[in-house]
Structure 1
Amino acid sequence: AAAHAFYTQTLGFETLMAMPEANLFIVQSAGTPGLGLLLEPSNNPVAEAYRRGVYEQGLPAIVFGSADVRADYDRLTAAGVVFQSEPAEGPAGLAAVFDDTFGNYVQLHQD
């Protein structure tokens, strides 16, 4: 339920499906029908080891496209989201990575 609140209230996703009794939610980005993000606890030791390894390496588990990474960075920082660093230009475009506080790094990317 906490991840659902973060992804909807802080990041602005919409709830596509909710099964709070199972702590299972599917959210989607506004304006992106047909593409959902499953939020649920994992009891699978292999999946958890992978997630933990990706997190410990500081790698994003998911990348979201952004029309304006700097504006999103400012808005989310003001909402208390912790970024690894300020937005930076790279070979693929402008990017910023934040911690969703549920064991995942999320990258915002702008071409």
Structure 2
Amino acid sequence: MKVTLISIPVLDQENALKFYTEKLGFLKKKDIPLGGGNRWLTLVSEEWQDGPEILLEPAPNHFEPSRVYQDALMKAGIPWTQFDVQDVASEYERLTKLGVSFSVKPTEMGTVKVAVFNDTCGNNIQLVEEL
């Protein structure tokens, strides 16, 4: 068994696509219209194009429990998911210059360094560097 897809709920798929590709550097892999303005919209890491896909899912707009959960995580400052990076400090600097807002600046926590940013789509995302 292996993970091939993770879902991130987003409030606006088009804005999410711009943020995740233009700021974070992911590549669009699939963009299939599903009707009603919804899309099967997936991304992959530029560094691992055959790796797991990220589904930018419009669930909060169609399923109230999803919106409630997403809002609760955001309000509590809890990340929806995490992305591994080689160097949290340099990613923090790069993304800050692109206007990304961080709620947690690079911080060492035991064997990792973390930072948390707002993806502008309703989620906190954590960056993690293994030390």
TM-score (norm 1): 0.93
Distance 1:28 1:49 in 2: 27
| Secondary structure of the structure 1 residue equivalent to 2:55 | strand
Q: Give unmatched runs, 5+ long, in structure 1.
A: none
Structure 1 window deviating more from structure 2 (45-54 vs 58-67): it is: 45-54
Shift of the 46–92 alpha-carbon distance from structure 1 to 2, 3 Å rule, reads farther
Distance 1:86 1:75 in 2: 13
Q: Does 1:109 align with 2:128?
A: yes
Give the number of the structure whose residues are more often strand, by fraction: 2
Distance 1:49 1:92 in 2: 33
Q: Give unmatched runs, 5+ long, in structure 2.
A: 1-13
RMSD, aligned α-carbons:
1.3
Correspondence for 1:100: 119
State the Cα distance separating 1:24 from its structure 2 match: 3.8
| Secondary structure of the structure 2 residue equivalent to 1:30 | coil
State the Cα distance separating 1:92 from its structure 2 match: 3.8
State the Cα distance separating 1:22 from its structure 2 match: 2.3
Q: Does 1:13 align with 2:26?
A: yes
Q: Does 1:4 align with 2:17?
A: yes
Count of aligned positions = 111
TM-score (norm 2): 0.79
Q: Which has the higher contact order (CA 8 A, sep 6+)?
A: 2
Paired residue type of 1:37? I
Correspondence for 2:67: 48
Give aligned-pair identity as a percent.
34
